[in-house]
Structure 1
């Protein structure tokens, strides 16, 4: 398995920042009331991950070891500010819906963790791909959790797509069932904790099932002994 395949496997499944490392749970649990909210926050986080990883990788040989963490945080804060201003300009309604959790990307442990653990030790092309895969893994979990909560709570999927893609995307909303009384447990924060628990349990169960299929029982080893005799 080459480097890119390994980074893809780590970011999307084996070392997923959301359901394995359990990093960045505050925004993940707070804003995933809909698929679009999760997608919006996931894309913002992915852009920051890619930008910060590339920058950290480029300057890694000039950053003193003693002050590397404050410098990494400043780099991340710069990219978060750029993303925040872009969302404010082009997707203002979604920006308002996500609220304080956009600037709080600065404190996301998944981003500073990748900058410290990987980007500061590897070339920029691998650091950029690592940021992309970690961001995609985080975004997928956000969307799945948001989809579960939106479907159970409101009976819809892709509600509010126009907030991210424009007015034309209003037709993307799917109404699975209609209800006058939304399922509040799914919409409120406790539903996010329960949904996250189910996702983690599903991944662990699937990993164990796959491992039981792949790992074969070791066969008994047959040891053959050779006897050497000397003829006189």
Structure 2
């Protein structure tokens, strides 16, 4: 259970595919003209990622190293085809909105990267949750970008008007340049939060009384470091 939670946290926060690893940029920039498209693409990728991770992990000892990547691509392509048919049959509007980017999931860096770096080396259950975590992280990233672009570019969220009638939509945000603007803005915010949290963590682990002036510091850490270096030099 602890391992499963760790894999989910890793995919959603620590190694978010969109804002941290910067993977899958092609669908991220292309389909996030609306929050619904971002959510649909993210969930579609999550299902394929989770199932391909599970299958690759289960077959990891049976797949020869020489045909590892071709085998991964065949497995991923099989799940992509299944999901594509399901979307076409049950959610045709989303299928038409995502268009060519559904079959292109086969060569998505996130899926092949997790298959190679994690699923092919770890047991089935952790690999499944790794796929779910990375998929949820990708879904979160795409949905956030889609929400911002849809609000600024159309005054709506999930097709529901949320801005007053006097609001003039900024059309550039639902065009290609708007995707770059929003991605860079959200990535900068996320990096700022991570840096601040890292600084707080460093301060919390620093010795009591540590400051810039080591001469007036009573913690003795500088003395310890000097003694350690002296002992190391004697050796």
TM-score using structure 1 length: 0.86
Instruction: Report how far residue 74 of structure 1 moved.
Output: 0.6
C-alpha contact 2:155 2:167 (8 A) present in aligned 1: no
The root-mean-square deviation of aligned C-alpha atoms, in Å, is 1.7
Other-structure match for 1:129: 129
Q: How does 1:41-120 map to 2 (within 5 A)?
A: 41-120=41-120
In structure 2, the CA distance between the partners of 1:2 and 1:209, relative to structure 1 (3 Å rule), is same
CA distance in 1, matches of 2:3, 2:19: 22
In structure 2, the CA distance between the partners of 1:179 and 1:55, relative to structure 1 (3 Å rule), is farther
Q: Residue 196 of structure 1 is aligned with which of 183, 187, 193? A: 183
Structure 2 unpaired stretches of 5+: 211-219, 228-235
C-alpha contact 1:30 1:189 (8 A) present in aligned 2: yes
Other-structure match for 2:195: 208
Structure 1 unpaired stretches of 5+: 160-172, 226-232
CA distance in 2, matches of 1:30, 1:18: 13
In structure 2, the CA distance between the partners of 1:179 and 1:187, relative to structure 1 (3 Å rule), is farther
C-alpha contact 1:48 1:80 (8 A) present in aligned 2: yes
Structure 1 residues 78-108: Cα deviation after superposition (integer angstroms, max 9, x where no partner): 0000010000000101111111011111110
C-alpha contact 2:87 2:95 (8 A) present in aligned 1: yes
CA distance in 2, matches of 1:71, 1:178: 54
| Residue 182, structure 1, aligned to residue 169, structure 2 | yes
Aligned-partner SS, 1:22: coil
CA distance in 1, matches of 2:152, 2:77: 35
CA distance in 1, matches of 2:166, 2:21: 36
| Residue 18, structure 1, aligned to residue 5, structure 2 | no
CA distance in 1, matches of 2:104, 2:167: 34
| Residue 4, structure 1, aligned to residue 1, structure 2 | no
CA distance in 2, matches of 1:141, 1:113: 18
Aligned-partner SS, 1:178: coil
Instruction: Report how far residue 178 of structure 1 moved.
Output: 3.3
Moved >6 Å (runs of 4+) = none
TM-score using structure 2 length: 0.85
CA distance in 2, matches of 1:135, 1:213: 29
Instruction: Report how far residue 175 of structure 1 moved.
Output: 2.7
